[in-house]
Amino acid sequence: MTQVAILGAAGRMGRALIQAIAAEPQARFAAALDRAGCPESGRDAAVLAGLAPSGVLLGSDLAAALAQADVLVDFTRPEGTMAAVQACLSQRKALVIGTTGLSAEQKAAVAEAARSIPVCLSANYSVGVNVCLRLLRIAAQTLGPGYDVEIVEAHHRHKVDAPSGTALRMGQAVADALGRKLEDCAIYGREGHTGARDANTIGFATVRGGDVVGDHTVMFLGEGERVEIAHKASSRSNFARGALRAAVWLAGRPAGLYDMQDVLGLREA
């Protein structure tokens, strides 16, 4: 049975993860962590998630929590994630990262850590989204460069990064399939007199508002037809279930940098 610690346990995703663990026979809730000074500190973490008491109290001592766990699941902010990377390195623990908005330098630090410990870093832990990534590669390869590609994503008003990590990952999947570099062809906004669309670009549009959990639509627009591949999340439970699936899969794996394509066996040879 995989012993799981949750960083960011008092947040919305943290509570969803606790609920997911309660329904997963292969995992045990080992520790709950949040920032020092969190108002819920010292309370039973399962109760915070709307469940029966678990005896696991919300704390902030990362080292002590890791001593009881096989894997740490982190859905926080980049600065919290980097602290988690160092803590997991020191105790040689597996790490599942769901934090978005990591800088190129921070991603490089995660990749370096993965030379010593198993790390799963994914822009989105939804099984459905990861199936969409596979479908996007097939669509891009089959439709080819004659179709314009536009990506529209919508999230709740509290999301702090844009475009979403999932939208960028979808764009990367399409760019790779078309033999392009996303950093060279991405367009992140249009305003004013932009001129005709460059056929080699991949456009991104961002919507923020309300309580939208996460909607992503990739459009392949050709002459006389349009193909759309979309995913719409109605709750955070699907992300939590996927992250927990990754945690159970990752525990005991050799050091390396993995993502949900590896977890689900969708990685192309």
pLDDT digits 0-9 by tens, 189-241: 899 999 999 999 999 999 999 999 999 999 999 999 999 999 999 998 999 99
The CATH number given to whatever domain includes residue 139 is 3.30.360.10
Statement: residue 64 has pLDDT above 60: yes
Statement: residue 18 has pLDDT above 60: yes
pLDDT digits 0-9 by tens, 90-118: 999 999 999 988 999 999 999 999 999 99
Mean predicted lDDT score pLDDT of the chain: 95
pLDDT at 137: 96
Kindly state whether residues 151 and 179 are assigned to the same domain.
Answer: yes
Kindly state whether residues 243 and 114 are assigned to the same domain.
Answer: yes
pTM: 0.85
pLDDT at 241: 96
**Residues 45-73: what's their mean pLDDT?**
96
Catalytic one among 93, 155, 216, 231?
A: 155
At residue 106's C-alpha, the angle toward residues 104 and 108, to 5°, is 70
| Range of the structural domain that residue 221 is part of | 127-233
Catalytic one among 93, 107, 159, 181?
A: 159
pLDDT at 115: 98
The CATH number given to whatever domain includes residue 86 is 3.40.50.720
Kindly state whether residues 74 and 133 are assigned to the same domain.
Answer: no
Kindly state whether residues 175 and 83 are assigned to the same domain.
Answer: no
Active site residue 216: no
If one counts the domains in the chain, the total is 2
Active site residue 155: yes
